[in-house]
Every structure is written in structure tokens, then in C-alpha cells.
Amino acid sequence: MNGHITNLDTIHRCNDYLHVESYHPLVSVIDLNDIDTIQHTAKHFSVYGIACNCDRNIITDSGINEIFASMHFIAPNTNGKYSYGKTDNPKGWLLLFHPDLMKNTMLMNNMSEFSFFNHTPHAVIYLTKDERDMVVNCMKSIYTETRQPIDKHTNNIIISGIAVLLCLCQRYYDRQFNSISSSRGVIARLDRLLNTQLHTIATKGGSLPTVAWCAKNFNLTANYFGDLIKRHTGISAQEYIQRRIINEAKILMVTNKLNISEIAYRLGFKYPHHLTRIFKRIEGCTPNQFKKLNMDRASH
């Protein structure tokens, strides 16, 4: 990590980062098919983002290619991955909009209802062909409006389009997790279990939670538990547990004056470098780099 953070705090800067033209100061709809590659840097977002990647080809349990797109979400005050280099860009559409677009509107008051902006690992929506077409058509309508001359109706039309898109996303999010037996209950139960164990470790000592330990608490075999979590979150049970632990480490770094070794032992790591290794794999930077970054941002 070279210490440079790309601060994407305006739509214009977001467009510059992607090398596309700006048409509206507070919103941008980008046809990702026009972008061949993206040059990645460490970045911090101050805008909302909704990406619809349309080059997915996922085989379902029934063996049928039923999934045609995936959706991912960005909320303001979020760090992007600390990765560097150039990658092929997914094909699809990207909507970016600044919170100022929604000032003094009902949509701003309702943003907390859209749970897919919560940045948990399972907040990814997979779309069928019809759902993908609905989302893309909605993106295209906003895209078209941003290319029109700005007048007194422009923002209301754009906000209405974004509201429709968000409602569609919430419908598909609910459909996805209701279609699999009690997925929210499973993840909520696992989160409570991990929270309790991490609190116990911090106050009384103990070992880090493992897949086998979690499975035992669910009265399931480790393999079945792993399959269950993978189906609900899209990542392995071990990865989910490790991300939860790293999230706890990040909270401790921001809210406490503990050093990295103290945080590692408080979370149940036998050796601090084990925390550093997992942290760097998940976050793309070391704990010390993350801590310094947040200290630097807080001082500005």
C-alpha cells in the first residue's frame, strides 16, 4: 500500500476515476460496457452506488442457468478495497448519486429502510433475466434523463427514478432471502452467536470461534453448516466468521487506544501476526495502516 487514498467525495471525482464524462453534478449513470478496464487504487466513497453486473452465469441447485446478473451496493463513508492494478471491468450498469441529491426529500428519510446498503457480506442480490431487464431499464431511464438539459424538473424526475430502482432492489432482496428457508434468521442467529463468543473472549478469555464450533452450536455437522452459510451469504462459513472478527478488530482500532497486539489477544488470537495476516487478506492493508488511515482522516 503506497498510502495514497482516492477520495471519491463528488460525482465529478467518481467520473474522473472511471474516465467518463460528467453530465449532472449529483448523479451519474455509467454503461460499464463502455469501460474495458479499471485502474484500482485505495479509495473512500462519500456517495451511494448501485452496480448491476450483467455478465453473471451462475448454475443453481437445479442445474439450470437461472441467474443473469448480480447487484452490489456502496454507501457513503465506506472504504473500497485496498487493491492495486488493472482489472477487466464487469459488464453492466453503475448508478452513483450524492446524498445532496436527496436533501429535503422523502427518499432521504427512507434510505435506512433499504437494508442492502448495510455492507454485510450477504448484501448481494442475484437477478433472474426478467429482474435484470427491469433493473437495466430503470438505469437506462435515469441515464437518459441525466443527458437532458437541466431544468427545474430534472432532479425530481431523477429522484423518482432512483426511488423506483431502490424499491425494485428491496423486492428482489426480500425475494432472494425469503426463497431460502429462514436465511435472515440463520445469519442473525450466527451473528448473535459470534457476538456472544467475542464478548466472552474479551472478558474471560477463550478461543476464536471456528466453523466446527459454530456448527456444534447449531446442532449441525461442519459440512452441512458450511453449505448452509455459503448458500445464504455466497462465501464460506470460515470467510464469514473471519470477516466478522476483522470487523470487530476495526471497531476496536477506532474506538480504543489498544495497540494491535492487545487487540489480537482480546479477540482470541494466540499470536498478533495471525490477526495481521487475516486482516491484510480481507482489507488489503495491515491493521497499522488501517489505524493510521482512520487517524489521518479524523484529523482533517
Q: For residue range 240-296, what is the model confidence (pLDDT) as tens digits? A: 999 999 999 988 888 777 899 999 999 999 999 999 999 999 999 999 888 888 766
Dihedral angle at the C-alpha atoms of 153, 108, 182, 78, nearest 10 degrees? 110
Rg (the chain; Cα; Å): 21
pLDDT per residue as tens digits for the range 92-138: 999 999 999 999 899 998 898 887 786 544 457 888 889 999 999 99
Question: Residue 207 belongs to a domain with what CATH number?
Answer: 1.10.10.60
Can you tell me the distance from the alpha carbon of 129 to that of 54, in angstroms, rounded to the nearest whole number?
9
When pLDDT is averaged across residues 159-164 and rounded to a whole number, the result is 97
Q: Of the candidates 157, 178, 199, which is a domain's last residue?
A: 178
- With b for 16 or more beta-carbon neighbours within 10 A and e for fewer, the 54-73 pattern comes to bebeeeeeeeeeebbbbbbb
pLDDT of residue 84: 56
Enclosing domain of residue 286: 183-299
Q: Of the candidates 132, 151, 178, which is a domain's last residue?
A: 178
pTM of full prediction above 0.75: no
If asked whether residues 172 and 294 sit together in one domain, one would say no
Name the nearest CA neighbour of 186 among 120, 113, 129, 100: 120
pLDDT of residue 182: 53
If asked whether residues 155 and 24 sit together in one domain, one would say yes
Q: DSSP letters along 225-272, please?
A: HHHHHHHHHSS-HHHHHHHHHHHHHHHHHHH----HHHHHHHHT-SSH
Which amino acid is residue 159, in one-letter code?
A: I
pLDDT of 82 > 80? The answer is no
pLDDT of residue 61: 44
- Percent of the chain scoring above 90 in pLDDT: 45
If asked whether residues 34 and 64 sit together in one domain, one would say yes
> Number of folded domains in the chain?
2
Per-residue pLDDT band for 204 (boundaries 50, 70, 90) equals confident
**Sign of CA pseudo-dihedral 249, 253, 257, 259:** positive
Residue with the bigger pLDDT between 123 and 64: it is: 123
pLDDT of residue 246: 93
If asked whether residues 218 and 281 sit together in one domain, one would say yes
Q: Looking at residue 285, what DSSP letter applies?
A: S
pLDDT per residue as tens digits for the range 21-37: 999 999 999 999 888 77
Is the residue at 1 inside a domain? Answer: no
Those residues with Cβ within 8 angstroms of residue 186's Cβ, 6 or more apart along the chain or in another chain: 228, 229, 232
If asked whether residues 210 and 86 sit together in one domain, one would say no
Question: How far, in Å, are 41, 198, 236 from residue 3 at the CA level?
Answer: 10, 31, 31
If asked whether residues 157 and 31 sit together in one domain, one would say yes
If asked whether residues 10 and 159 sit together in one domain, one would say yes
If asked whether residues 212 and 105 sit together in one domain, one would say no
If asked whether residues 147 and 235 sit together in one domain, one would say no
pLDDT per residue as tens digits for the range 165-199: 999 998 987 776 555 445 557 888 899 999 999 98
Those residues with Cβ within 8 angstroms of residue 44's Cβ, 6 or more apart along the chain or in another chain: 5, 6, 7, 8, 9, 77, 78, 79, 80, 297
When pLDDT is averaged across residues 70-98 and rounded to a whole number, the result is 78
Per-residue pLDDT band for 67 (boundaries 50, 70, 90) equals low
Pairing of strands 6-8, 43-45: parallel
